[in-house]
Chain A
Amino acid sequence: MSKVIVNQLQNSTGGSPTLTWMTADGTSGQTIKSSDGSGTLAFTGDAVPIKTQDGNETLNFPNTISADSLAFKTDGSGNLSTFSATNPFSVAGSAPKETGLRLCDRVNISEETPAAQFTLTVPTAYTTDLSQILGFEIRTHGLRSAAQTTWNWGYQLTDQSGTILGVPGAERIAVIYFGGQSGQYGTTQKMPSTSDKIRPNVYPVYSNTNNPTTSIFDNTTALTDWTPAPQLGYNKTIIYNAHTNKTYLSESHIKYNSSLDQSQMELAYGQLANCAGHIGGIKVEDTGGSNLVDGLVELYAHFKNGINV
């Protein structure tokens, strides 16, 4: 094997430094460095500084790691440490994995162009097998339609692409309502003809011809007629995601007329018979077709155990 025995090497280009070659090998993994700035090469085990991409900052990794699955965080001065990245809605160490609530989708209608419907779906990154989802939770705050008269809201059930589920079938709804101007409370039942949507309100939601047709969330002025403003204040709907015979419970706080005391809470229990297909999403709408202009709508899901989300 060819070999040259020499103490020093120098590039033939004029002015190049003379490099004095090492006289002994280093240990495995050691690198060659200039030891004195005068061309003397030596092996070193010194840590190679880990630089940021621009080369301006050095990152210092911890000297010890205490456990698996710890994430790295910075102190802003290049010193990294670890922290536990456990999911607060999963049971640590459970087998099969037990997971709680997960956000699927949300829309802040107040920031969107008004539209008659807004669709929220289950991300495919979670699953494409919708039978893995036991139930859904829809949370709605401050929902308001551009309707200039009373209106009704509803959630249509869809597949994961946003296509409406189900063959029209029977929907049975039992509603308990509390509140109102005269303190009305009572129960009622409804049996609409289709079962592809949830329509739990007893009284239509109040609005009038002074109702703004754009978002009021950031208005810096008061409404000249405050009465159309607080429409569907809050709704929480939980749905059991059975393939065909779905059930739901919905709690709503709405204003059904103009006076301050004409607001009430409604609890609705519904059964959707023959609404075939596991739910992959919802469409929130004013069933009369007017645009929705304000409100936050969120879709959460609860998965079966063992599903890695």
Chain B
Amino acid sequence: MGKIVVKNIQSQNSTTAFKIPSSDGTAGQFLETDGAGNLSWGGPSDFKSADGSSLTYTLPNTDGTAGQFLQSNSTGGDTKWASMSSPTATPDGTKQGWNFIDKFVADDSGSVNEVNLTVPTSMTTDGSNIIAYRMDFYSFSGEDNNSNASPRISCYLQDGSTVACQTDAYSNWHHWNSQNGHQASSTSYSYTAGSGYRPNTTYFGAGTNYTTNSGKKTFGSTGYLGGGLSGTFFWWNARGNPQGWMNAHGPATLTNWTNYNGMTYGYVTPTDTTTPYHTTNNRTMSWKVQLVQGGSIRNGTVILSGYFKNGVL
């Protein structure tokens, strides 16, 4: 093989002598100049932005630890490794806990007749991946002024329109307020659309339309006197025998809410021994919250969060 051993190569048409590297580069490297005729092997540790000129990126000198993400270290293109795991995931990222799903916020600009809270398809389309739900109510209230302004909670498939259940559910609830003391009852709920679990059938009005000491205004108005339901509904999303529990506080019906302010505790579960609660299609992946009398929801916030199986999110 012909070979010339030399340190510099210069074109006949040039006065610039290029000093060639004295050793080989590593695979993938290329020849680059320092502007003074010295050629060296360039590594891919630095590279340009997409437009070829604005930024020169440099990668960290060493790899990060497992699970770390590449982040900017400044605005100049240098980068670093950093941990970015969710606060509700373990440091190694293998287990994921409590996660926000959806929320509803009522405001003074209008009102709605129902709240729909749904698991995004980007999270999952398989309801068995959701072990449990949590639904938090903050001062949830409607326009009416009686017990039928109480919220009812219904289970749906992810499309938000197909009921998720095929059997009735049964509920037992207790309520305490200063006027009436303790009240309790049990009732059943049809699985057909339009029904749904409600935490209290008699003394729990989430609606009120007060405007004075015996009344309440909406969130944005002055003289807000409170009222509305605040509490949490939990749901264990088993296929055949799920169960729900609710603990909430708020005014009962009637105008003098100071005497009827109380606490409701309720429990709901299917009791059918032949038919599983959820249909064969899927499990609950969407929730509908309405007022029992179908009126307008005027105020408050409802937040849906969930507990997914590891590795789903």
Contact = CB atoms under 8 A, between A and B. Distances in A.
B178 interface: no
A22 B132 contact: no
Interface stretch (B6-14, B196-204, B220-228, B294-302): B6-14
Nearest to A69: B71
A57 interface: no
Given A104-B90, A183-B174, A67 B72 contact: yes
A221 B309 contact: no
Q: Dominant SS at the A interface?
A: loop
A226 B247 contact: no
B71 A217 contact: no
Interface string B232-276: 001010111101110100000000000000010101011111111
A123 B91 contact: yes
B274 A125 contact: no
B57 A61 contact: yes
Given A108-B310, A234-B234, A220 B75 contact: no
B61 interface: no
B11 A233 contact: no
B131 interface: yes
Task: Kindly name the residue among A3, A185, A264 whose own CB sees the greatest number of chain B CB atoms within 10 A.
Answer: A3
Contacts of B128: 218
B186 interface: yes
Contact of A23 (B14, B36, B92, B245): B14
Given A65-B72, A79-B50, A219-B240, A126 B17 contact: no
Given A9-B9, A125-B91, A261-B184, A226 B241 contact: yes
Given A25-B33, A141-B236, A68 B75 contact: yes
Interface in A59-93: 60-72, 79, 82, 85, 87-90
A161 B245 CA distance: 34
23 contacts: A1-B7, A3-B8, A12-B1, A29-B33, A30-B32, A32-B30, A32-B31, A32-B32, A47-B47, A63-B55, A71-B69, A71-B70, A103-B98, A105-B90, A108-B131, A142-B236, A185-B176, A185-B182, A217-B131, A217-B238, A222-B240, A222-B274, A255-B267
Interface of B: 1-14, 16-19, 30-37, 39, 42, 44, 47-57, 69-77, 82, 84, 86-92, 95-98, 128, 131-132, 167, 170-172, 174, 176, 182-184, 186, 234, 236, 238-241, 243-245, 247, 263, 265, 267, 269-277, 280, 307, 309-310
Across the A-B interface, the 5 shortest Cβ-Cβ residue pairs: A142-B236, A47-B48, A125-B91, A12-B2, A60-B50
Given A89-B88, A103-B95, A233-B236, 10 more contacts: A3-B6, A3-B9, A4-B6, A6-B12, A64-B55, A87-B86, A106-B310, A224-B273, A253-B234, A253-B245
